[in-house]
Amino acid sequence: MVFGITLLQFILSHSYLSRIAPMGNQLKVFFVVFALLQACPVVAQTRTVMEINRDWKFKKENLDDAQKTSFDDSGWGTISLPHTWNHSDGQDGGNNYYRGVGWYRKSVDLPPAYTGKSVYLKFNSANCKTDLYVNGAFIGTHIGGFAAFVFDITKQVSFGKRNTIVAKVDNSNSILVPPLSADFTFFGGITRSVELLILDPIHISPNRSGSCGVFVTQNKVTGAGADITVSTLVDNTGPTTSSIGVATKILTGEGRVLHSKNSSVRIAGNSSQNVDQLFSIKNPHLWNGKKDPYLYKVLVEVIRHRTKTDSITQPLGLRFYSVDKDSGFYLNGTRYPLHGVAFHEDRRDKGRAISMEDRKQDLDLLNELGCTYLRLAHYQHDQFVYDYCDEKGIIVWTEIPVINNIDTSTPLYADNARQQLTELIRQNYNHPSVCFWGLFNEIDYKPGPDPTPLVRELNSLAHALDSTRLTTAAAMFDERPEHWIPDLISWNKYFGWYVGNVKDFGRWLDSIRARHPDLKIGVSEYGVGANTQDHSQNPRQPNPGGPFHPEEYQNLYHETYWKEIEARPFLYATSMWVGFDFSSDGRNEGKNPGVNDKGLITQDRTVKKDAYFFYKANWNDEPMVYITSRRFLERQDPHVEVKIYSNCDSVQIQVNDKKYAAIVSSDHIYKWNDVTLTSGTNKIQALGYTNGRIIVDTCSWRLVEHR
């Protein structure tokens, strides 16, 4: 029921009027309310969003006629979304997981009350090729495994009846679109949620590359003022021309209306029109990263005949930033070092079909770690991730999966790369956390055609779609022509793991800086594998493809790399590889077939490795102390090193009843090399002292007698 009419009826009731006014004033109250209702738009129900994630029928097989409404799917399994058919075989090694077709079927009832509405079906991602059928009719195809996409199904649905939705999803390796190959499992399936959008025929378009239809451009932002443009794409799916209003409000974080603007336009039937509105904000409260991630809101309402037909709210974090070739990243005019991790959407026994609770846990762990920035590898992530980073003030690099090599045998690869970049930018245009559009990753790792023309196209497209952000890429080799095309360039370097020695990293940084002194550069990947069950008191550089990946070598590696990074302020951003162990079914190493074990946290999220706490000590002010090698439970040599990671002013240890002198450290690493264990169980205690507080950590090691 229309809100305005309901309110009027309520006020006219004698019992209500008798409570708010004496009998003689009731008529005055009526006219006041009536005048207010005449002056204000009537509020009706606007968009309806229905998640349809439960009770899908699924079959992993390439079938004929499964799209027909008469098809018998009673023998199929019943699943809920998100879903992947590779949750087991995509993580067990052998690189032999199923690459093919899976069918999804679901029945949906649309109430008769929705008659006359526009109906859209939104997939938040499905990998990789999706053919959609509704009530037996073919609707369309989307190719690309990581972005949202939307189909208009208005003409195919029946109101007041049961509707059959069928999706044929295919992750075959014969689909020649990005990525062709990569060091992660290509999980097939409908890997995020699916929604029905029920909209008035006059609505904000959901169908511009799967975006929300509202684009907020920060034309110019300083501490003194901000000029922004709010562009709203309005669809009229009705047959006749309509006069409509677009009312936009800038709201403070507390919900107060700061600015408002109304525009009137006429939109022809079965057409769309863009409405631009300009706003100036004096002395804005800036979005200042983790220090102060202040968010305004942009509320856009579409009104026809004084009735609100649609509305959308988008985040607005006002900020300005730049990169200096000598001193790195600046946020709002102040140097702001970007350090963090790269990570995948991936969970043990779930693959990419993870829940919002899973995502929140991952991001909470990375926020706790102290990341000021995240590299979202190697594809567009779920919107929850970008929303979280907006709210927490974490800077984001987000990218498309143009990885390893390209294909030029048909126009499909390049067309789809452009499509995925367009989807990435349009769907994430309003997020203040996003500062970098990533164009490729190790594009020349495998032999193939020259990628330079495609990279040029992608770079130009990114700037055409969004002139306010910087383009970047992750390179493997040093000198390639495609590296100099984006605004920024970063490198993936694994000295001390795949090549050379860990000490080569610093020398390489100085070498690339000397060769390209005017280049704005970063480090996009560095890391080594670690199995939490593998340990060594004096670790040597292990075989990366071998079974033994001791935690202690990962510690030494990251200690060395971070020291070199801190000494070079010209690096605009650095992200270690990787936040969490993840599925890569072609790997067989570190006693974990099908898993890349370079994570700071295990794939099941049950263990934070030692190196996690090394970065936490470096990236956080909250006092902490952590004993390394705590899982090295059984020792055969009584003479051991005790190493602590801490950000306290000083740290002391006690082994059994023996206390060792407190020491200070300039690099958050505290070591005692003269510790002797006794036969049997030994209790190790670390005490960190800071600002009158004592922070304690304990563990136990067992000295096993020689036999």
The residues carrying an active-site annotation are: 442
- In this structure, what is the dihedral angle of CA atoms 665, 668, 669, 671, given to the nearest 10 degrees? 40
Strands (E), 466-520: 470-475, 489-492
Place of tokens 């000021």: 372
Beta bridge partners of 601: 580, 608
- Determine contact, residues 497/544, Cβ cutoff 8 Å: yes
What is the 3 state secondary structure string of 168-180?
Answer: EEECCCCCCCCCC
d(CA 417, CA 599): 28
Contact 299, 313 (CB under 8 A): yes
- C-alpha–C-alpha distance, residues 4 and 219, integer Å: 38
Is residue 58 within a helix (H) or strand (E), and if so which, with residue range? strand 56-59
From residue 105, give the alpha-carbon distance in Å to each of 65, 67, 317. Answer: 12, 8, 40
> Can you list the alpha helix ranges (DSSP code H) found in 466-524?
504-515
- Closest to 401 (Cα-Cα) out of 383, 368, 423, 385: 423
Are the CB atoms for 444 and 477 separated by under 8 Å? yes
Which positions ≥6 away from 343 have C-beta within 8 Å? 362, 366, 374, 375, 376, 377, 578, 579, 580, 582
Q: φ and ψ at 577, to 5 degrees?
A: -110, 110
Q: Which long-range contacts (CB under 8 A, 24 or more apart) does 657-665 make?
A: 662/687, 662/689
Contact 136, 66 (CB under 8 A): no
Give dist(CA 372, CA 636) in Å, integer. 41
Residue 430 to residue 435: CA distance in whole angstroms: 11
The Cα–Cα gap between 214 and 426 comes to 9
Please give the C-alpha separations between residue 375 and each of 8, 275, 394, 555, in angstroms, as whole numbers: 53, 33, 10, 22
Strands 321-324 and 328-331, bridge-based pairing: antiparallel
554: phi then psi, degrees, rounded to nearest 5: -60, -40
Q: Which residues of 51-87 are buried (b: 16+ CB within 10 A; e: fewer)?
A: ebbeebbbbbeeeeebbeeebebeebeebebbbbbbb
Rg (CA), the chain: 29
Q: Output the DSSP codes for 319-339.
A: --EEEETTTEEEETTEE---E
